[in-house]
Amino acid sequence: MQTCKTHLLISVGIIILIISCKQKETQKVESKNKIEETIFTKQYIENDSLLMLLKSDLYRIAFNPVFDGEEKSKNNTHNKTVADNSKTLIFDKTKIHFYRESNWEIIVSAKIKNSRFKFLDTINIGEKKGILENIVKTELKANSITIGNLKHTALFIFKFENDILKEIVYKYGED
C-alpha cells in the first residue's frame, strides 16, 4: 500500500512538472546528414507576478492619448437596466479592446504591433528574444512565448520571427 502511494505521488509530481513547462513541438528531420532537430513552436511560462506587471503596463499603454476610440453599447443579458459597453482603441497597427459594465472596466484583448509601446521598460516590438529571455530567466526555444497564470485565463503571447519580436497579443478570459 505504501509503494502505491509513493508511486502515485511521484506520478502526480511528474505530471505537474510536465504541465508547468508545457511546450508544443514539431519534428524536422534532415535526410542528408541524418540529424534530428526539434523545433519548438510554442512555449508556455506560468508566472503570476510577471503577468501582473505586464497587465499593469498594458493599462498604462491603453490610457495613452494617441489612441482613437470607438465605443458600442448593448443591454446586459443578466440585468436589462444596465448597459454593457465595448470599446476599441486603435493607434497605427495596435488595437486594445475593453469591456465595461456600470462600475468596472477590463481589457479583454490587445494586439501590439507598434514599437512605440514598451513593457517592463525594455520589451517592445523589434527587440531581440534575449531581452525577454533575461526577464523570464528561462531559455526561450520557441517563436511563440506565452506568459500566463495557472488557469490560463490571462495570457500575453510574444510572437517572434528570426528572434525579433513582431507582435504582442493579450487575451483575457479564454481557456
CB neighbourhood size of 167 (10 A) = 17
pTM of full prediction above 0.75? no
At residue 43, the 3 state secondary structure works out as: strand
- Residues 8-41 pLDDT 10s: 555 545 555 455 555 444 444 444 554 444 455 8
Is the CA virtual torsion 145, 147, 152, 155 positive or negative?
negative
- Residues 127-165 pLDDT 10s: 999 999 999 999 999 999 999 998 889 999 999 999 999
Contacts of 66 (CB under 8 A, 6+ apart): 91, 116
